[in-house]
Amino acid sequence: MNMRNKLVTKAGLLRRELMIKRLRLVQIPPNYAFFNKFEQNDVAVDIGVGDDPDFSKHLINNYGLDCFGVDPTRKHTEVLRKVEQDMANFHFLPLAVGPNNGQAKFFESHDNISGSLLKNHTNIINDHVSSYEVDMITLDELIHTVNKKVIAIMKIDIEGAEYAVIDKLESPTLKRVQQLIVEFHHDTVREYTSKNTREAIKRINALGMKSFVYNGRDCLFYW
């Protein structure tokens, strides 16, 4: 039984709900759980927003955060620019986040919202796809670009590239992030399994952050 299946058992769901209550987490089902510890002028970084930055919108509308939405997908650019025009607290960065700084090939699905930097992503294997070069930056460089000493909350949903990013993650970068939500894609990229997800979680734990696996795929890290 894999990690996700364990969490959908009755006992797993009960343990999850007890942990949510104990930690006093806010939930945005089915993907997110986090602490409401935000203050005025806090900043969020929302990496991998797709065509609807719903997480950023929630943080702006409910907590007044300043949100940076990051996504390299060309077909989403127009709608994200429109959100940026309509919401003063939303700032769009057309970038990919990866393990290195520079140019990278991005694969865009014509049939699904999500593309990927990884050609073995299920959308890239099964869909009609186009590819093009995008600007890729590391988490450390992204935080420098945002130009804030502390990120109140960061969400990473980068369709399999999270494993390489976490593998190169260093303590000084991580310490600038108060809460981190990572969506893991061991079920959508062939070379990764739940074992890789467990190892990635352990790596972040080893850098000092605690973890709470919300649904077998999305994980909250906190200090």
Q: Give tens-digit pLDDT for 22-35.
A: 999 999 999 999 99
Q: What is the pLDDT of residues 81-139, one digit of tens each?
A: 999 999 999 999 999 999 999 999 999 999 999 999 999 999 999 999 999 999 999 99
Residue 182 lies in a domain: yes
> What average pLDDT does the segment 201-210 reach?
98
Domains identified in the chain, total number: 1
> Is position 74 within any domain?
yes
pLDDT (0 to 100) of residue 8: 54
Pairing of strands 26-28, 32-34: antiparallel
In-domain check, residue 143: yes
CATH number at residue 88: 3.40.50.150
CA–centroid distance for 211 within its chain: 15
In a domain, 156, yes or no: yes
Predicted TM-score of the model (pTM): 0.94
Query: Is 4 inside a domain boundary?
Result: no
Residue 12 binned pLDDT confidence (cut-offs 50, 70, 90): confident
Q: Residue 7 pLDDT > 50, yes or no? A: no
Task: Output the CA–CA distances (angstroms, integers) from residue 129 to 23, 49, 108, 110, in the order listed.
Answer: 42, 19, 5, 6
Question: Position 21: which residue type?
Answer: K
Residue 129 lies in a domain: no
- Could you tell me the residue range of the domain that residue 55 belongs to? 43-102+134-202+213-222
Average pLDDT value over all residues in the chain: 95
Q: Does 146 reside within a domain?
A: yes
Average pLDDT over residues 160-183: 97
Cα 26 to Cα 214: distance, rounded to the nearest angstrom: 11
Strand (E) or helix (H) holding 66: strand 66-70
pLDDT score at 157: 98
What's the confidence (pLDDT) of residue 1? 43
Q: Of the candidates 76, 217, 221, which has an alpha carbon nearest to the alpha carbon of residue 153?
A: 221
Residue 66 lies in a domain: yes
